[in-house]
A = this chain, B = another copy of it.
Amino acid sequence: MCVEGNAVAVEVADALEAGAAPASQLIEDLVVANHILFDQGVVDAFGHISARHDANPDRFLLARNMAPGRVAADDIIEFTLDGDPVNASGRKVYLERFIHGEIYRRRPDVMAIVHSHSHSVVPLSVVKGMRLQAIFHMAGFVGQGAPVFEIRDAGGDSTDLLISSNHLGRALAECFDGHDIVLMRGHGSTVVGNSIRQAVYRAVYAELNARYQLQAMQLGEVTFLTEGESRTCIQNVEGQVQRPWDLWVEQARARRSASGR
Protein backbone atom coordinates (compact mmCIF):
# COMPACT_ATOMS: atom_id res chain seq x y z
CA MET A 1 0.00 0.00 0.00
CA CYS A 2 2.93 2.30 0.41
CA VAL A 3 3.81 4.75 -2.29
CA GLU A 4 6.97 3.86 -4.08
CA GLY A 5 9.97 6.07 -4.62
CA ASN A 6 9.43 8.80 -7.16
CA ALA A 7 6.18 7.62 -8.65
CA VAL A 8 3.74 10.52 -8.56
CA ALA A 9 0.91 8.96 -10.46
CA VAL A 10 0.70 5.77 -8.52
CA GLU A 11 -0.93 2.40 -8.86
CA VAL A 12 -2.35 1.29 -5.55
CA ALA A 13 -4.05 -2.04 -4.85
CA ASP A 14 -7.70 -1.78 -3.88
CA ALA A 15 -8.18 -1.91 -0.12
CA LEU A 16 -11.68 -3.02 0.57
CA GLU A 17 -14.90 -3.66 -1.17
CA ALA A 18 -16.99 -0.74 -2.25
CA GLY A 19 -20.19 -0.36 -0.26
CA ALA A 20 -23.41 1.24 -1.44
CA ALA A 21 -23.01 3.16 -4.71
CA PRO A 22 -23.11 6.95 -4.45
CA ALA A 23 -26.13 8.77 -5.85
CA SER A 24 -25.79 9.25 -9.58
CA GLN A 25 -26.50 12.96 -9.10
CA LEU A 26 -23.44 13.22 -6.86
CA ILE A 27 -21.24 11.65 -9.51
CA GLU A 28 -22.74 13.88 -12.18
CA ASP A 29 -22.11 16.98 -10.07
CA LEU A 30 -18.55 15.88 -9.36
CA VAL A 31 -17.85 15.38 -13.06
CA VAL A 32 -19.21 18.75 -14.10
CA ALA A 33 -17.42 20.38 -11.14
CA ASN A 34 -14.15 19.11 -12.60
CA HIS A 35 -15.03 20.73 -15.92
CA ILE A 36 -16.11 23.99 -14.32
CA LEU A 37 -12.88 24.33 -12.35
CA PHE A 38 -10.96 23.91 -15.57
CA ASP A 39 -13.16 26.29 -17.56
CA GLN A 40 -12.93 28.96 -14.86
CA GLY A 41 -9.13 28.74 -14.77
CA VAL A 42 -8.92 27.39 -11.22
CA VAL A 43 -7.13 24.22 -12.33
CA ASP A 44 -5.08 23.43 -15.42
CA ALA A 45 -3.90 19.86 -15.96
CA PHE A 46 -3.35 19.70 -12.20
CA GLY A 47 -5.59 20.12 -9.15
CA HIS A 48 -8.59 18.05 -8.08
CA ILE A 49 -11.99 18.10 -6.43
CA SER A 50 -13.50 15.41 -4.21
CA ALA A 51 -16.87 14.81 -2.58
CA ARG A 52 -17.67 12.87 0.55
CA HIS A 53 -19.62 9.70 -0.23
CA ASP A 54 -23.32 10.38 0.38
CA ALA A 55 -24.01 6.85 1.65
CA ASN A 56 -20.84 6.39 3.68
CA PRO A 57 -19.17 9.34 5.45
CA ASP A 58 -15.95 7.35 5.78
CA ARG A 59 -15.42 7.26 2.05
CA PHE A 60 -14.84 9.93 -0.55
CA LEU A 61 -14.99 10.19 -4.34
CA LEU A 62 -12.16 11.50 -6.51
CA ALA A 63 -11.18 11.11 -10.15
CA ARG A 64 -8.34 8.85 -11.21
CA ASN A 65 -5.03 10.56 -12.00
CA MET A 66 -5.92 12.76 -14.98
CA ALA A 67 -6.57 16.35 -16.05
CA PRO A 68 -9.81 17.60 -14.43
CA GLY A 69 -11.16 19.07 -17.66
CA ARG A 70 -11.33 15.58 -19.18
CA VAL A 71 -12.94 13.66 -16.30
CA ALA A 72 -15.99 11.46 -17.07
CA ALA A 73 -18.27 9.53 -14.72
CA ASP A 74 -16.38 6.27 -14.98
CA ASP A 75 -13.15 7.99 -13.98
CA ILE A 76 -14.46 8.54 -10.44
CA ILE A 77 -12.94 6.25 -7.81
CA GLU A 78 -14.05 5.60 -4.23
CA PHE A 79 -11.44 5.97 -1.46
CA THR A 80 -11.22 5.30 2.26
CA LEU A 81 -10.23 8.19 4.51
CA ASP A 82 -6.71 6.69 4.56
CA GLY A 83 -6.57 7.36 0.84
CA ASP A 84 -6.83 3.74 -0.20
CA PRO A 85 -8.91 3.17 -3.33
CA VAL A 86 -11.66 0.59 -3.16
CA ASN A 87 -12.43 0.28 -6.86
CA ALA A 88 -9.41 1.60 -8.73
CA SER A 89 -8.87 -1.74 -10.45
CA GLY A 90 -5.32 -0.77 -11.25
CA ARG A 91 -6.04 2.73 -12.50
CA LYS A 92 -3.54 5.33 -11.34
CA VAL A 93 -4.60 7.63 -8.52
CA TYR A 94 -3.62 11.13 -7.44
CA LEU A 95 -0.61 11.18 -5.14
CA GLU A 96 -2.23 13.96 -3.12
CA ARG A 97 -5.43 12.08 -2.27
CA PHE A 98 -4.29 12.34 1.37
CA ILE A 99 -5.36 15.99 1.36
CA HIS A 100 -8.93 14.86 0.97
CA GLY A 101 -9.04 11.88 3.32
CA GLU A 102 -7.44 13.65 6.25
CA ILE A 103 -9.63 16.76 5.97
CA TYR A 104 -12.81 14.64 5.75
CA ARG A 105 -11.62 12.82 8.86
CA ARG A 106 -10.93 16.00 10.84
CA ARG A 107 -13.88 18.07 9.63
CA PRO A 108 -17.13 16.02 9.63
CA ASP A 109 -19.01 19.06 8.31
CA VAL A 110 -16.98 19.15 5.10
CA MET A 111 -18.69 17.54 2.10
CA ALA A 112 -16.41 18.65 -0.77
CA ILE A 113 -12.80 19.78 -1.21
CA VAL A 114 -10.95 21.59 -4.01
CA HIS A 115 -7.17 21.59 -4.23
CA SER A 116 -5.68 23.89 -6.87
CA HIS A 117 -2.76 26.10 -7.91
CA SER A 118 -4.76 29.06 -9.18
CA HIS A 119 -2.83 31.97 -10.61
CA SER A 120 -3.14 34.62 -7.91
CA VAL A 121 -3.03 32.29 -4.94
CA VAL A 122 0.46 30.93 -5.64
CA PRO A 123 2.25 34.32 -5.51
CA LEU A 124 0.39 35.28 -2.32
CA SER A 125 1.50 32.00 -0.73
CA VAL A 126 5.22 32.83 -1.01
CA VAL A 127 5.36 36.41 0.25
CA LYS A 128 6.69 36.42 3.80
CA GLY A 129 4.14 37.62 6.35
CA MET A 130 1.33 37.83 3.81
CA ARG A 131 -2.06 36.25 4.48
CA LEU A 132 -5.06 35.96 2.23
CA GLN A 133 -7.88 37.97 3.82
CA ALA A 134 -11.50 38.60 2.81
CA ILE A 135 -11.49 41.69 0.61
CA PHE A 136 -14.97 41.62 -0.93
CA HIS A 137 -18.43 40.34 -0.22
CA MET A 138 -18.20 37.28 -2.46
CA ALA A 139 -15.36 35.85 -0.38
CA GLY A 140 -16.45 36.16 3.24
CA PHE A 141 -15.38 32.54 3.72
CA VAL A 142 -11.74 33.63 3.43
CA GLY A 143 -12.14 35.30 6.80
CA GLN A 144 -9.61 37.27 8.81
CA GLY A 145 -6.47 35.65 7.45
CA ALA A 146 -6.08 32.22 5.89
CA PRO A 147 -3.30 30.07 7.36
CA VAL A 148 -0.28 29.35 5.16
CA PHE A 149 0.77 25.73 5.38
CA GLU A 150 4.59 25.49 5.41
CA ILE A 151 5.44 21.93 4.47
CA ARG A 152 8.96 22.33 5.83
CA ASP A 153 7.53 22.18 9.36
CA ALA A 154 6.12 18.69 8.82
CA GLY A 155 8.23 17.32 6.00
CA GLY A 156 11.62 19.02 6.07
CA ASP A 157 13.21 21.32 3.53
CA SER A 158 13.68 18.93 0.63
CA THR A 159 10.17 17.75 -0.19
CA ASP A 160 8.38 18.06 -3.52
CA LEU A 161 5.81 20.22 -1.66
CA LEU A 162 3.15 17.59 -2.37
CA ILE A 163 0.87 16.13 0.30
CA SER A 164 2.04 12.63 -0.47
CA SER A 165 1.29 10.82 2.81
CA ASN A 166 -1.25 10.61 5.58
CA HIS A 167 1.32 12.27 7.85
CA LEU A 168 1.44 15.35 5.64
CA GLY A 169 -2.30 15.24 5.07
CA ARG A 170 -2.90 15.34 8.82
CA ALA A 171 -0.57 18.30 9.23
CA LEU A 172 -2.46 20.18 6.54
CA ALA A 173 -5.86 19.15 7.92
CA GLU A 174 -4.98 20.66 11.31
CA CYS A 175 -4.83 24.08 9.65
CA PHE A 176 -8.52 23.77 8.83
CA ASP A 177 -9.57 24.12 12.48
CA GLY A 178 -11.54 27.35 12.31
CA HIS A 179 -10.67 27.97 8.66
CA ASP A 180 -12.24 26.93 5.34
CA ILE A 181 -9.30 27.80 3.12
CA VAL A 182 -5.60 27.17 3.64
CA LEU A 183 -2.78 28.38 1.41
CA MET A 184 0.14 26.06 0.80
CA ARG A 185 3.50 27.84 0.42
CA GLY A 186 4.93 27.55 -3.09
CA HIS A 187 2.13 25.22 -4.07
CA GLY A 188 -1.45 26.53 -4.05
CA SER A 189 -4.47 26.23 -1.80
CA THR A 190 -7.15 23.89 -0.53
CA VAL A 191 -10.70 25.03 0.13
CA VAL A 192 -13.62 23.15 1.68
CA GLY A 193 -17.41 23.43 1.45
CA ASN A 194 -20.61 21.85 2.65
CA SER A 195 -21.43 20.77 -0.92
CA ILE A 196 -19.73 20.44 -4.29
CA ARG A 197 -21.38 23.67 -5.37
CA GLN A 198 -20.11 25.62 -2.39
CA ALA A 199 -16.57 24.26 -2.75
CA VAL A 200 -16.50 25.18 -6.45
CA TYR A 201 -17.90 28.63 -5.70
CA ARG A 202 -15.28 29.18 -3.05
CA ALA A 203 -12.40 28.02 -5.25
CA VAL A 204 -13.44 30.48 -7.96
CA TYR A 205 -13.88 33.42 -5.61
CA ALA A 206 -10.78 32.64 -3.53
CA GLU A 207 -8.77 33.18 -6.71
CA LEU A 208 -10.53 36.51 -7.33
CA ASN A 209 -9.96 37.56 -3.71
CA ALA A 210 -6.25 36.82 -4.11
CA ARG A 211 -6.10 38.74 -7.38
CA TYR A 212 -7.78 41.79 -5.90
CA GLN A 213 -5.58 41.63 -2.82
CA LEU A 214 -2.41 41.50 -4.92
CA GLN A 215 -3.54 44.59 -6.81
CA ALA A 216 -4.86 46.59 -3.88
CA MET A 217 -1.87 46.02 -1.60
CA GLN A 218 0.43 47.57 -4.19
CA LEU A 219 -1.42 50.86 -3.90
CA GLY A 220 -1.77 51.40 -0.18
CA GLU A 221 -3.42 50.28 3.01
CA VAL A 222 -6.44 48.04 2.47
CA THR A 223 -9.80 47.90 4.23
CA PHE A 224 -10.65 44.22 4.59
CA LEU A 225 -13.99 42.82 5.71
CA THR A 226 -14.63 42.79 9.44
CA GLU A 227 -15.29 39.51 11.15
CA GLY A 228 -18.98 40.42 11.27
CA GLU A 229 -19.04 41.27 7.56
CA SER A 230 -17.32 38.00 6.69
CA ARG A 231 -19.84 36.04 8.69
CA THR A 232 -22.86 37.83 7.23
CA CYS A 233 -21.46 37.48 3.70
CA ILE A 234 -21.10 33.73 4.15
CA GLN A 235 -24.69 33.46 5.37
CA ASN A 236 -26.25 35.62 2.68
CA VAL A 237 -24.09 35.65 -0.41
CA GLU A 238 -23.28 31.94 -0.43
CA GLY A 239 -27.00 31.27 -0.34
CA GLN A 240 -26.83 32.37 -3.99
CA VAL A 241 -24.51 29.53 -4.99
CA GLN A 242 -27.06 28.04 -7.36
CA ARG A 243 -26.91 31.10 -9.63
CA PRO A 244 -23.25 30.81 -10.69
CA TRP A 245 -23.52 27.03 -10.65
CA ASP A 246 -26.30 27.09 -13.25
CA LEU A 247 -24.29 29.45 -15.43
CA TRP A 248 -21.11 27.41 -15.14
CA VAL A 249 -22.88 24.14 -15.88
CA GLU A 250 -24.42 25.67 -18.99
CA GLN A 251 -21.03 26.96 -20.13
CA ALA A 252 -19.29 23.66 -19.42
CA ARG A 253 -21.86 21.76 -21.47
CA ALA A 254 -21.81 24.27 -24.33
CA ARG A 255 -18.02 24.12 -24.58
CA ARG A 256 -17.85 20.37 -24.53
CA SER A 257 -20.69 20.09 -27.02
CA ALA A 258 -18.98 22.61 -29.35
CA SER A 259 -15.75 20.62 -29.27
CA GLY A 260 -17.59 17.43 -30.11
CA ARG A 261 -17.17 15.74 -26.77
Contacts and interface: CB of A to CB of B under 8 A. Distances in A.
27 contacts: A45-B244, A45-B248, A46-B240, A65-B243, A66-B243, A67-B243, A67-B244, A69-B247, A70-B246, A70-B247, A117-B138, A119-B212, A123-B135, A124-B216, A126-B136, A127-B220, A127-B221, A130-B220, A137-B160, A137-B187, A157-B226, A160-B232, A160-B237, A164-B236, A186-B225, A214-B218, A218-B218
A220 to B, nearest CB: 5
Contacts of A26: none
Given A136-B122, A232-B158, A246-B67, A186 B223 contact: yes
Interface string A182-210: 00011110000000000000000000100
A85 to B, nearest CB: 18
A24 interface: no
Number of this chain's copies in the assembly equals: 4
A2 interface: no
A239 B224 CA distance: 39
A19 interface: no
Given A136-B117, A260-B254, A237 B162 contact: yes
